[in-house]
Chains A and B, each alone.
Chain A
């Protein structure tokens, strides 16, 4: 789509001029453009830029901390879309370990396993043990609660959490909330948080200063991406109404195995790539099932997400990196990554 690409470049030039242009259209365009974008949240005003090769490193410099999001490792999956998901998870961990800055922790946004089997969780644990970051926070995906209402998940990864595994924690002045939207799903519906969790969430935010940066993470997107495929959460609007007063809200999700981004007011939404297999863009295939790509391309569509928090600017910088590249995929002169 040459027109879109031109739009992107125009917007980007305006962006570089730092003229305060409304970037909603720009980000909407980017949402479909694939990998390779850094964006920062500064006092609630989104500032986006395509990144240069070294920007991941630059973002690390002077930042108070960073963490990495991985998602959808689907350990146990062995179909043609990726016969060795353990190996690609290992590649993701190797990539994290090779980062110039060791992330403070890792967030896994669910679908750890394919079938909630103990052996799958065991394999996952074994691989994650090798990560440079020792602290790992989890939320479950629907694949982690298949056979036992998530009891095993809770036993292994959700000790001390509430309900089906929701919780919050603080790190360097940032408030993190892990939400569960894959339990008790209703026929015909999408993801669901449920009344009990929503009440807890509202309560959890009470008394916190509006200047506290908030990071929400959950498996299924907390914004409606494609209802026909269930890519959204039925009661996410209510959850998001609770964070309206905060100046900086970042929402990190998985489930859809591809990068999508959107900014709405002071809330920025981001979905991560899978470490296991890609899924098609919304509506481009008969279903959301695993997408088979040529073997040599697989590592370009799997990846990790590095998030840096810069205290000075109260901003979060998010960098997505495919497994198969030494650095982020976008080139220095921009362009939506070969779309």
Chain B
């Protein structure tokens, strides 16, 4: 990729986000109907969430995957979402339809904390 192309790509992203925001604002269209803004992944590895802070656009579905040999949970500190116990390789997904900051933790190992920033 040339330097010029990079600059173009850099411009394209804010434009796309603006389009998505417009769509999200249109009446009668719910976030889940969006041309999927994105999917994002959080890995649970070595008793930690990675990335610990994940920033996503409204409408993003975040999927946590437990890569440890020990079960974990993904529980919103404010009661917004709560996974069942996730054993090795099991996943939990949640779609964030509202902007905000969502702190969460593992209720089995509460030292494990993370947050999702939705904007």
Q: A147-B85, A289-B46, A289-B47 are in contact. Are A187 and B70 (CB under 8 A)?
A: no
- CB-based contact A185/B113 at 8 Å: no
CA gap between A286 and B84 in the complex, in Å: 25
- The complex places the Cα of A290 from the Cα of B107 at a distance, in Å, of 19
Interface of A is mostly: loop
- Residue from A116, A188, A286, A290 in contact with B111 in the complex, judged by beta carbons closer than 8 Å: A188
Interface residues, chain A, CB within 8 Å of chain B? 77, 79-81, 114-116, 142-143, 146-147, 185-190, 227-230, 286-290
Supposing A289-B68, A290-B69 touch, asked if A146 and B111 sit within 8 A by C-beta, the answer is: no
> How far in angstroms is the closest Cβ of chain B from A164?
14
Q: Which residues of B lie under 8 Å from residue A143 when comparing CB positions?
A: 71, 108
Distance of A152 Cα from B105 Cα, bound (Å):
24
Assess whether B98 is interfacial by the CB under 8 Å rule.
no
Contact with A along B93-108 (1 / 0, CB 8 A): 0000000000111011
Q: Are B84 and A290 in contact (CB under 8 A)?
A: no
* Chain B nearest Cβ from A18, distance in angstroms: 43
Name 8 A/B residue pairs within 8 A (Cβ), A-sorted. Answer: A79-B69, A81-B69, A115-B71, A185-B110, A229-B111, A286-B46, A288-B47, A289-B68
Q: Which of A115, A187, A290 contacts B103 (CB 8 A)?
A: A187
Contact B88–A79 (Cβ < 8 Å): yes
Among B48, B68, B69: residue with most chain A CB under 10 A: B69
Docked-complex contact B70 and A146, CB < 8 angstroms: no
Q: If the complex has contacts A147-B84, A290-B70, are A142 and B47 also in contact, measured as CB distance less than 8 A?
A: no
Q: Which residues of A sit under 8 angstroms from B73, Cβ to Cβ?
A: 146
* Chain B residues touching A, range: 20 to 34
Q: Which of B46, B85, B105, B113 contacts A146 (CB 8 A)?
A: B85
Contact with A along B9-21 (1 / 0, CB 8 A): 0000000000000
Chain B residues with CB under 8 Å of chain A are 46-48, 68-71, 73, 75, 77, 84-85, 87-88, 103-105, 107-111, 113
User: Most chain-A CB neighbours within 10 Å: which of B75, B109, B110, B113?
Assistant: B110
A-B residue pairs, 3 tightest by C-beta: A187-B105, A287-B46, A287-B47
Contact of A230 among B75, B103, B111 (CB under 8 A): B111
A287's contact among B48, B88, B104, B105, by CB below 8 Å, is which?
B48
Residue of B nearest to A288 (CB): B47
Q: Are B108 and A188 in contact (CB under 8 A)?
A: no
- Give the chain B neighbours of A288 by CB distance below 8 A: 47
**Distance to closest chain B CB from A162 (angstroms):** 22
The distance in angstroms between the C-alpha atoms of A105 and B85, with both chains bound, is: 33
Q: Which residues of B contact A227 (CB under 8 A)?
A: 111
Known: A143-B71, A186-B110, A287-B48; 10 extra A-B contacts, CB below 8 A, are A115-B85, A146-B71, A146-B108, A187-B75, A188-B111, A227-B111, A229-B47, A287-B46, A287-B68, A289-B46
- B84: A residues at CB distance < 8 A: 147
Bound Cα distance from A81 to B70, whole angstroms: 11
The answer for the CA separation of A187 and B46 in the assembled complex, in Å, is: 17
Inter-chain contact A189/B47, CB cutoff 8 Å: no
- Which residue in chain B gives the minimum CB-CB distance to A292? B69
Q: Which residues of the other chain, B, contact A187 by a CB distance below 8 angstroms?
A: 75, 77, 103-105, 110, 113
Knowing A115-B87, A187-B105, A289-B46 are in contact, say whether A228-B111 is a contact too (CB < 8 A).
yes
